[in-house]
């Protein structure tokens, strides 16, 4: 079964979101939707999310699920906003509880924030299935970049989140709390065991070498030419490469606002008595051992 996949690029963060539909049943899921955020002013915006809303309305789609591949550290999620506009239930991998517990400590969050996943409508375990029209959505746990990372296999289309990028972009970093390069290698092997013709949709593309921005490849292409992990790459080689590379990477621009919103399923923190939501900046904390 081949679902219809409509990509949406969020240029400021290089993020690809997707609407995946069973054209016959007119049911759809939204994957990794983005909330605009201007760090200079602390203002959020919905212009990008509204493109998804407009598409679903124009195509007459009923949104059943809003799916996150993980709690992103580079962009804010618009899952809550989209749910208010389109309906559907928000789901993420069950490893979100560990991510929430970790970042509750990092951000010094109070008792109002309970790290048990209750902010989401559904927590997904490896091997679970959801239905979209006549198409099953299969959940594949792919920890390594983060402990809550999952991929979604919908018909012949695989949404890999931050595991692998386009073949010339390699793989995701593993130096966030809960990240583990050996685990990511094994997760990628699980994806590479899928049929070679499986369509692969990435969560980010940074257009290396100035080429056109891209979003779709196949398992066959990844196995033949992914610059970090292809057929023949050993776990040891991958882990050594990943550790060396991660040591050179900057902290993502939006990690501080993103994580605080994304562990709340795209909600802002509850407002203070003045009606304003505040995000916290832990000074000299990120990058320090937990």
We find the least distance from the C-beta atom of residue 70 to Fe ion, in angstroms, to be 6
**162 binds Fe ion, rule: CB under 5 A:** yes
Q: Which is nearer to Fe ion, 57 or 213 (CB)?
A: 213
CB of 174: closest distance to Fe ion in angstroms?
Answer: 11
If the CB atoms of residues 28 and 200 are measured against Fe ion, the closer one turns out to be 200
CA atoms within 13 A on the CB side of 1: 17
Which lies closer to Fe ion via its Cβ, residue 64 or residue 97? 97
Q: Which CB sits closer to Fe ion, 20 or 172?
A: 172
Buried residues in 42-59 as b, exposed as e (16+ CB within 10 A): eebebebbebbbebbeee
Q: Which of residues 65-84 bind Fe ion (CB under 5 A)?
A: 72
Residue with nearest beta carbon to Fe ion: 162
Q: What share of the chain is helix, strand, coil (3-state, %, to 5)?
A: 25, 25, 50
Q: What whole-number distance in Å separates Cα of residue 107 and Cα of residue 112?
A: 13
Tell the smallest beta-carbon distance from residue 172 to Fe ion (Å): 6
Q: How many residues interact with Fe ion (rule CB under 5 A)?
A: 2
The answer to whether the beta carbons of residues 215 and 175 sit under 8 Å apart is: no
Assess 22 for contact with Fe ion (CB under 5 A). Answer: no
- Residue 253 C-beta: closest distance to Fe ion, Å: 13
Rounded CA separation 260/100 (Å): 9
CB closer to Fe ion out of 162 and 183: 162
Give the shortest CB-162-to-Fe ion separation in angstroms: 4
CB proximity list for 180: less than 8 A, separation 6 or greater: 143, 144, 174
| Residue 27 interacting with Fe ion (CB under 5 A) | no
Which residue in the block uniquely carries the two structure tokens 């962009």? 75
Shortest reach from residue 15's CB to Fe ion, in Å: 9
- Closest to Fe ion by CB, 68 or 162: 162
d(CA 289, CA 204): 28
Binding site residues, Fe ion, CB under 5 A? 72, 162
């Amino acid at each position: 079964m081949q679902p219809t996949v409509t990509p949406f690029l969020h240029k400021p963060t290089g993020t690809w979101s997707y609407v995946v539909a069973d054209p016959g049943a007119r049911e759809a899921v939204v994957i990794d939707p983005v909330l605009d955020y201007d760090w200079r002013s602390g203002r959020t915006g919905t212009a990008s999310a509204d493109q998804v809303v407009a598409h679903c309305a124009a195509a007459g789609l009923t949104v059943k699920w809003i799916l996150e591949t993980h709690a992103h550290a580079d962009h804010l999620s618009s899952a809550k906003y989209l749910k208010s506009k389109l309906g559907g239930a928000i789901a993420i991998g069950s490893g979100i509880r560990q991510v929430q517990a970790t970042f509750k400590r990092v951000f010094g969050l109070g008792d109002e924030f309970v790290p048990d996943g209750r902010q989401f409508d559904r927590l997904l375990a490896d091997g679970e299935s959801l239905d979209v029209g006549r198409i099953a959505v299969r959940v594949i746990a792919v920890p390594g970049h983060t402990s809550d990372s999952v991929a979604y296999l919908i018909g012949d289309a695989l949404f890999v989140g931050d595991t692998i990028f386009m073949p010339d972009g390699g793989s995701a970093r593993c130096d966030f709390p809960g990240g583990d390069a050996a685990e990511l290698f094994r997760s990628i092997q699980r994806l590479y065991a899928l049929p070679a013709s499986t369509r692969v949709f990435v969560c980010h593309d940074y257009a290396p070498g100035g080429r056109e921005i891209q979003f779709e490849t196949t398992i066959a292409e990844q196995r033949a030419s992914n610059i970090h992990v292809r057929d023949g790459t050993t776990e040891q080689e991958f882990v050594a490469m990943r550790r060396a590379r991660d040591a050179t990477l900057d902290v993502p621009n939006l990690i501080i606002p993103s994580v605080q919103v994304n562990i709340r399923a795209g909600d802002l923190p509850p407002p203070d008595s003045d009606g304003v939501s505040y995000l916290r900046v832990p000074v000299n904390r990120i990058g320090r051992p937990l």
